[in-house]
């Protein structure tokens, strides 16, 4: 049995692939497709940086959470380390997305 290198990696949908799908399915030219994908992700990023949650109907919610400073430790040395306060992005899938993913697993 021969394994390809690609099969060892987790498959991922890239921005380039999304732009290619817009080109193939909608008929935008490749430059317009790339620009549209870049603009979409720039808008989401800008909203999150500004502290605004992003809700995409039927897909899910991206939310900003502020985590307080807390004590931690270096797992290698056991030495105490202070973990600074920070903002993190969380994603919560919509019930519709969860249902579709579950149906795909059951259908296999």
Supply the pLDDT for residue 108: 59
Mean pLDDT by 10 residues, the chain (108 residues): 51 90 89 94 96 96 96 95 96 96 78
Domains of the chain (ranges, CATH numbers): 13-52 (4.10.520.10), 54-108 (4.10.520.10)
Supply the pLDDT for residue 9: 66
> What pTM, to 2 d.p., does this model score?
0.74
Supply the pLDDT for residue 100: 93
8 A C-beta contact, residue 67 and residue 85: yes
3-state secondary structure the chain: CCCCHHHHCCCCCCHHHHHHHHHHHCCCCHHHHHHHHHHHHHHHHHHHHCCCCEEECCCEEEEEEEECCEEEECCCCCCEEEECCEEEEEEEECHHHHHHHHHHHHHC
């Amino acid at each position: 049995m021969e394994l390809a290198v690609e099969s060892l990696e987790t498959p991922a949908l890239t921005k380039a692939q999304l732009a290619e799908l817009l080109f193939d399915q909608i008929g935008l030219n490749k430059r317009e497709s790339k620009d549209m994908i870049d603009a979409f992700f720039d808008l989401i990023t800008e909203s999150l940086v500004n502290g605004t949650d992003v809700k995409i109907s039927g897909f899910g919610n991206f939310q900003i959470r502020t985590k307080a400073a807390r004590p931690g430790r270096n797992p290698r040395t056991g030495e105490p380390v202070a973990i600074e306060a920070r903002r993190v992005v969380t994603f919560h899938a919509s019930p519709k997305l969860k249902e579709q993913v579950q149906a795909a697993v059951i259908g296999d």
